Structure 1
């Protein structure tokens, strides 16, 4: 499993947090999503069938902006 960590902005409330988590979990190959609104961070676990660009697009489509990214394999 690959993992990527993003520092993001735009998680104003628990509704946005829930929307973000639900949207990411609908992507094929996503195995884990942890959203920490207080730290403005999100960690996503995914397999090789998932493209990181799809994850980024999903985050941005919910209305959040990515500030920083760290990938781990």
Structure 2
């Protein structure tokens, strides 16, 4: 499983956190989503069938701005 970690701005409350988690969970291949509102961070675990660009686009569509990212394999 690959993991990617995003630093973001825009996760302001639990409603946005829930919307973001639900949207990411719908992406085929995403198996884990951890969102830390206080730190503004999102960690996503995914397999090869998930597209990293789709994950990033999903986060931005919900209204969060990605300010940094790191990939772990």
Secondary structure in 1 aligned to 2:39? Answer: coil
Which residue pairs with 1:65 in the alignment?
A: 65
TM-score under structure 1 length normalisation: 0.99
1:33-63 C-alpha deviation (Å, 9 max, x unpaired):
0000000000000000111100000000000
Equivalenced residue count is 73
Which residue pairs with 2:9 in the alignment?
A: 9
Which residue pairs with 1:38 in the alignment?
A: 38
RMSD: 0.4
In structure 1, the gaps of 5 or more residues are none
Secondary structure in 2 aligned to 1:58? Answer: helix
In structure 2, the gaps of 5 or more residues are none
Secondary structure in 2 aligned to 1:39? Answer: coil
